[in-house]
Structure 1
Amino acid sequence: MYKMKYFLLFLAIIATSKKSFSQLSNPEMNRILKQVSGSVAFLQRHYDGVSLVTENVFHSGELPGNWQLALKATPVKECSDAVDMEASFRLTAGEASASTVAVKFDFSNWSAANYVLVPASLYNGNRYRSIGYGYSPQYPHDMYYNPLVPLTISNNPRLSIAPDKASLVELQTGNMATPAVCFFSPSEQTGFILLTEQQTKWGNNGVTITENAQKDHFTFDISAPAIRKLATGFGDFHPSGDKAPDWKAGDEVSMRFRVYVFKATDIPSLLTKFMKVRKDLSGAPALRNLLPMSKLLELGTDICSSNFAQQPTGSYYKPENSNDFQLGWVSGMINTYPMLSLNNEKERRRVAEELNFVVHKLQGKSGYFFGAITSTGEIKGEKMSPDFPEIQAMVRKNGDVLFWLVKHLMLFRESGHAAMINKDWEAAAQKLAAAFVKTWEKNGQFGQYIAPQTGEIAVFNSTAGNIAPAGLALAASYFKKADWLKTAAAAADYYYRRDVAGQGLTGGNCGDISQDADSESAFGFLESLMALYNYTGDKKWLSMAEVEASLCATWTLSYAPVFPPSSTIGKLQSNMTGAVWASIQNKHAAPGICTSSGDYLFKLFRATGKPMYADLIRDIQHAHTEAVNMPGHITTNFLVGSSMERIQPSDAEGKESVGNFIYTRNSWTETNGVLMALELPGIYVLSDQSTCYVFDHVEAKIIKKDTKGLVLELHNPTAYDANVSVMAETSADAKRPLGYTAFLHWPKVPVKAGETISVRVTGKGVAW
């Protein structure tokens, strides 16, 4: 009954809009929208609760009832394909109860073939089969052992796939990594991007998208504030609780937009354009320097060390908040890597114990690994169905195992402890690599879930095999297996063409979602593309990596959201620019990439010279630090240096959750924090160009250049002593790919809390 009333309201809105839709004359906006068969109108609405009562259109800047509109639209000087618009709505006299204002964009000559993007919310319009009603729905029978399974997502806001069904998507700006609506028209070879702001004094703005049943007409409007019948949750919907404000004489709100219409040959064209412009309206807010990366590394590894345990089934660093072991994805055999890097005999021995446990207890007959085991030794299946009792495991976890196991082998060698390498570890890595190759040769994909005993794909489709090409590339180099590199290249090319260029998304990478678009697969696939560039030198992988980095940017907060002043984040005044959204199902951001340092973005910056890639990973690192529990900066109920996975700009978990941390800890967020501290340089210097880029929480500038080199001035504004890693090279050096253990050779510069020092950078190193 509730859904029927919602649908009838939706039909009423469409009918009202079609009768009254009009536009004010504005040459600049009309010019740019005409290129996409678009127009714009300005509206005032009156509500009863969340039900629309009346809708009025501004025709000449005024409406009956003392409403006025001031409109300004100007071309952007530095960008010929963009127009800035500001619409200011004012109630000049009297009162207007339960009212909102909106700017509505209308597009005729529309096609369902158009790619629609709302960052972190809609990818390809989420126009896919949907299952379940709630978090992590069970897969239906037809998804198992079915090579023809269509991409299937959880119950998220989406455009309809039915040929005769209209669409309605109701969001608010808190649901988005960037407040934006974008599309690409293949038939018109045109891209469209609208950037807007988070809120007005009435709170977060709303974004309502409609498409008619014939799918030849598309509209979206930005309203102040958001009034939704239903708010979206984690794979479900709930009453929004939205309330239209009461206006009094003199109340005014302004809504700003920047609209881009540009030539675009494909989805990658839209994505790369988006990355370039995503901060153009909001600007780049100043990041806060809170915690040196060396201090973060120290605290995070201390926590991990204290979590090492000898369980009945084996010895390992405990993941999350459990005694059971989970492999890859969020912890196991990833958190061991920074522990190994410490060059500490005790931790090196512990890492070896965990590797022994993993390869002896979790590898199946096929070469693939099971994904989890209890502390007492019971193998745990993943995404299981009673119809298919054979134990399954995540393909993503197996990709993690191959990639990180080989990285461990490389680190043992490079740090001078090759003698500790157990031949069983190498044999396990080779067996897993061979399993991936066999699966590829048989199926032309890696699937989403695998049966480790037989090696059969249990669930096909998705981009869950995203990091497998990186693992195969590393294994090919380590074991001198050229054919594995060929398989890695073929798989990466396939996933790029099918998913990134073909659908504008990657997905299915998390164990608690369906095949939903997610950030983890996007970042993981970037790892693979940069690995292929590293080992082949072929710049086609670099070009693909630039597109993939742009897709990653759609998942990353591009601005500093305003949180409720009474919320935890609001009280801490945290700048969460750089927080990474999880997936279209799990509607929250997180402190960092699950689970990676993102050093491939630094490598992409080195290879291309484009600072926007460095900016992206620096934003991510600083957002992570905002979520770290420190004295006077409490974010968890655990140890100093701990962190948790939830940064919530949206009301997907209820309005009371916005800006409030969940007081727990997550080992994966602590792991990606220490990985960033380890694998990203604190300061990167290009000596021949006299430039430096700062990732760490310090300030640095070049104060002198002479025949001996450069002199940097470093200032540590934090309350903690720092050991700042400095990587210095020339432009010629930067053209060579960076090895996976390069961080071992970066000199560390000690800078005490509050101290300012000078550092000389020469061709032979760093002196102070």
Structure 2
Amino acid sequence: MKIKIGLLSLVLSIFVGQLSAQNQTGAVNDFLKELKGSFKPMINEYSGTDLKSSQSINNGTLKLNAADWNCKLTTKKNGKSEVMDVKVAFQLQNGIAKETAVVAAFDFSQWDTKNYVMIPAIIYNGNRYQTIGNGYMPNYPKDMYYNPNVSLTFSNDPQLSPDPSKTSLIDLQTGNMATPAVCFYSPILKKGFILLTEQQTQLGNSGISVRENADRSVASIQVSAPSVRKLRTGFGDFAPSEDKAADWKTGDEVTLNFKLYSFPAKSIPDLLTKFMEVRKSLSGENNPRNLVPMSKQLELATGITSTRWVEVPVGKYYAPENGNDFQLGWVSGMMNTFPMLTLNNAKERERVGIEFDFIIDKLQGKSGYFYGGITADGKIRPERQHEAYPKIQAMVRKNCDALLWMTKHLMLYKELGYGKEIKPRWEEATKKLAQAFVNTWKKDGQFGQYIVPENGEVAVYNSTAGAIAPAGLAVASVYFGNKEFLAVAKESAAYYYKRDVENQGLTTGHCGDISQDADSESCFGFMESLMALYNVTKEIQWLEKAKVQAALCSTWAFSYDPIFHDESQIGKNKSNMAGAVWASTQNKHAAPGICTASGDYLFKLYRATGDLKYADLIRDIQHANVEAMDMPGHRTTNHGFGTEMERIQLSDAEGKSTIGNYYNTRNSWCETNGAFMALELPGIYVQTDTQKIYVFDHVEASLKGNVLTIKNNTVHDAKVAVFAETSKQAETPMSYVAFTKWKKVEVKAGKEVLITLNNNGTLKNVK
């Protein structure tokens, strides 16, 4: 009798378990119903990276090759919430399984190639664009030159194929992305979908794939543990992966965790803004470390730049780290001069003026545009040349940088009381450059990617290489009192926002070493422009567009602190790398900062809206920059304290040995970027009447009444820039040189100070 009861109990237990699995699967399917989606757990068997079989687990159990698998699905959803927590636990209950991966598959019928697909930092709009080459920075074919109708052209990146005759598959590892996530927007269903998962299980990084069927009517988003890719993606090419499926024994278990979002969406911007809102919801808030005060970082960066002053046959200037040739904008020239001008050092100020003269004498073409660089012995450096077109070209992006930063230099000279040192020719050259952009806009209706400085012709069209041009024109319109500059700034910004952000969900072609790939530099650069227009016009439309653009920017930055192996340089330093900014869909690595800008426009957006997520993003970026800085007991580049290197590599795009290592070299733009943030971001921001406080610097601070307490737990003395004001004052956009007026509070290493604030935000006294 006891045996019969025991048997009945076992049968009931199995039945209830199956019913529970069915119910939980049904709950996920119900959640995905409006997206025409469904869920299934699977077991994949491999031989190397060749898939031998793929079996679905139905009702929670599967018998495969004498092995018994169990899958327990747990879900959590509150009422009609747009989010569901899903936990998928796979266990090998009996037997062994060689070269096997477990998979969670989310299938979507009624799929459409018009769906916008985004995987942070690597896939934008499915990367469903024309591709060229098979490697880093491929040459442009002849038909891309002087062709206004050229289609947007990427390097050989992972993509959902635009060619219906080809297989359409994106196969990645979580190490390839800024957030382990897959997102899509369906214009037909008017719905958005976001899948968030974790970087790793005990089997290592997980795999994330998106595959479309032959007629593109069904898409499957799959997350696997471990990752088993046929090919790994490189810098514009592919190579065999070194992935290997796991060997399982009885009792082995792996759990995949997800947060799923299904929500109404009328546009790509709706998906992007939702992503920024939820991107940390699974990983949780990250933990930025206070390592080096911003004042110390500025001291180190400017000290390094000063040592790079060169006197070579072509002239005198601050040279980048990798030689004595001069490069304008992008990563060095007339950008690294800006922090030097703030030093109130007569020698460095004289050098800045010499460099100003140098670029005008050596690099400005007849059209007003500048050539992109010149060698130490005086040879103009061509950019993106084709043998059929001998006229030397230059990057539009470098000219955008030149316009913005030349104007900011002029403003800073005046703000610091050195306006009399400004030479008329500096203003004339800056104004001539602004006019060149106006002329191009009126002629071509865009700024293109490459131009000919001799005559102003657009050599290569398309891309968002002109992302910063509206910012430069808007700031120049104020400096020169020129309404035409502002009109073109507004028209061009509206054009790029509509064409690229709203319609395609990307910005492209800003880096000098990629094709027209999606990239973070154009993304953050366009953010600069939108906030510049708000700053100048006070029109809310630019603030609203900036919110969407900030969301797009957030897709390029690590939202969490990724796991690096313990023996890597980053692993040994125990660095928290949330905030590191990925480069482009071609160059698959993150970097310690925005190339090259402080990102103060994110602070300005926070100040204008009060929304913490914008402050959090730039705070994360600043702290990731310091994590990459070479310091005593925290070695990164081994090229001297304060130096930095641009590659924070979580992916195996350059091989597994590169993951978490810095290559024992340095990139001076990262140091300049750190200096910019130390200058243009306040160490502490306070609103006295609302008791709002936000700390960007590497100190701790609290506000009680009108008393601000600052504690410096680092080993370095700090001079903390305090920007205090009222909420009413915060309604007025701040000047581009407002940082010169922020009070500096000295806080010795390991010490604490108390500051009394007046009601209007000024500092009363320090104890």
- The question of a shared fold, defined as TM-score above 0.5 by the shorter chain, is answered with yes
| Secondary structure at 1:447 match in 2 | coil
| Number of the residue aligned with 1:646 | 647
Matched, 1:364 2:365: yes
| Number of the residue aligned with 2:280 | 279
Matched residue type, 1:38:
G
Cα pair 2:320 2:332 within 8 Å, conserved: yes
| Number of the residue aligned with 1:10 | none
| Number of the residue aligned with 2:17 | none
Between Structure 1 and Structure 2, how many residues are aligned? Answer: 741
Matched residue type, 1:386:
E
CA distance in 1, matches of 2:614, 2:270: 17
Supply the RMSD in Å over aligned alpha carbons: 1.1
- Equivalent residues in 2 for 1:59-208, closer than 5 Å: 59-64=58-63, 65-76=67-78, 80-208=81-209
| Number of the residue aligned with 1:239 | 240
Shift of 1:26: 2.7
Cα pair 2:24 2:74 within 8 Å, conserved: no
| Number of the residue aligned with 1:525 | 526
Shift of 1:76: 4.8
Instruction: Show structure 2 runs of 5+ residues with no match.
Output: 1-20
Q: Deviations over 1:521-573 (max 9, x none)?
A: 00000000000000100000000000000000000000000011111111111
Matched, 1:420 2:421: yes
CA distance in 2, matches of 1:492, 1:102: 43
| Number of the residue aligned with 1:442 | 443
Matched, 1:719 2:715: yes
Matched, 1:656 2:657: yes
Cα pair 1:370 1:393 within 8 Å, conserved: yes
- Equivalent residues in 2 for 1:200-599, closer than 5 Å: 200-599=201-600
Shift of 1:155: 0.1
Shift of 1:187: 1.0
Shift of 1:726: 0.3
Shift of 1:765: 2.2
Cα pair 1:636 1:665 within 8 Å, conserved: yes
Cα pair 1:366 1:435 within 8 Å, conserved: yes
CA distance in 2, matches of 1:767, 1:352: 37
CA distance in 1, matches of 2:435, 2:495: 19
Shift of 1:270: 0.4
Q: Deviations over 1:656-712 (max 9, x none)?
A: 11111121111100000000000000000010011210000000112x31xxxx112
Shift of 1:97: 1.2
| Secondary structure at 1:495 match in 2 | helix
What percent of counterpart residues are identical?
Answer: 58
| Number of the residue aligned with 1:49 | 48
| Secondary structure at 1:66 match in 2 | strand
Closer, same or farther: CA 325–645 of 1 in aligned 2, 3 Å: same
CA distance in 2, matches of 1:570, 1:428: 48
Cα pair 1:166 1:214 within 8 Å, conserved: no
Cα pair 2:308 2:321 within 8 Å, conserved: no
Matched residue type, 2:507:
T
Matched, 1:746 2:748: no
CA distance in 2, matches of 1:205, 1:163: 29
Matched, 1:756 2:763: no
Shift of 1:24: 7.2
Matched residue type, 1:62:
T
Q: TM-score, normalised by structure 1?
A: 0.96
Matched residue type, 1:224:
A
CA distance in 1, matches of 2:501, 2:576: 30
Shift of 1:312: 1.0
CA distance in 1, matches of 2:216, 2:55: 25
| Secondary structure at 2:81 match in 1 | strand
CA distance in 2, matches of 1:95, 1:406: 68
| Number of the residue aligned with 1:13 | none
Q: Which runs of 4+ in 1 moved over 4 A?
A: 22-25
Matched, 1:765 2:767: no
| Secondary structure at 1:80 match in 2 | coil
CA distance in 2, matches of 1:741, 1:107: 51
Cα pair 1:396 1:466 within 8 Å, conserved: yes
| Number of the residue aligned with 1:9 | none
Cα pair 1:198 1:205 within 8 Å, conserved: yes
| Secondary structure at 1:731 match in 2 | coil
Cα pair 1:28 1:83 within 8 Å, conserved: no
CA distance in 2, matches of 1:600, 1:647: 24
Q: Deviations over 1:167-213 (max 9, x none)?
A: 01110000000000000011111101000000100000001111122
CA distance in 2, matches of 1:76, 1:296: 46
Instruction: Show structure 1 runs of 5+ residues with no match.
Output: 1-21
Shift of 1:723: 0.5
Cα pair 1:164 1:214 within 8 Å, conserved: no
| Secondary structure at 2:728 match in 1 | helix
CA distance in 2, matches of 1:496, 1:157: 25
| Number of the residue aligned with 2:727 | 731
Matched residue type, 1:231:
R
| Number of the residue aligned with 1:618 | 619
Matched residue type, 2:763:
G
Shift of 1:758: 1.3
CA distance in 1, matches of 2:272, 2:146: 33
CA distance in 2, matches of 1:490, 1:302: 41
| Secondary structure at 1:689 match in 2 | coil
- Equivalent residues in 2 for 1:600-611, closer than 5 Å: 600-611=601-612
Cα pair 1:156 1:236 within 8 Å, conserved: yes
CA distance in 2, matches of 1:378, 1:171: 43
CA distance in 2, matches of 1:246, 1:187: 43
Matched residue type, 2:161:
S
Cα pair 1:24 1:58 within 8 Å, conserved: no
Closer, same or farther: CA 512–76 of 1 in aligned 2, 3 Å: farther
CA distance in 1, matches of 2:440, 2:684: 42
Cα pair 1:153 1:516 within 8 Å, conserved: yes
CA distance in 1, matches of 2:405, 2:24: 59
| Number of the residue aligned with 1:5 | none
CA distance in 1, matches of 2:215, 2:123: 20
Shift of 1:23: 8.0
Q: TM-score, normalised by structure 2?
A: 0.96
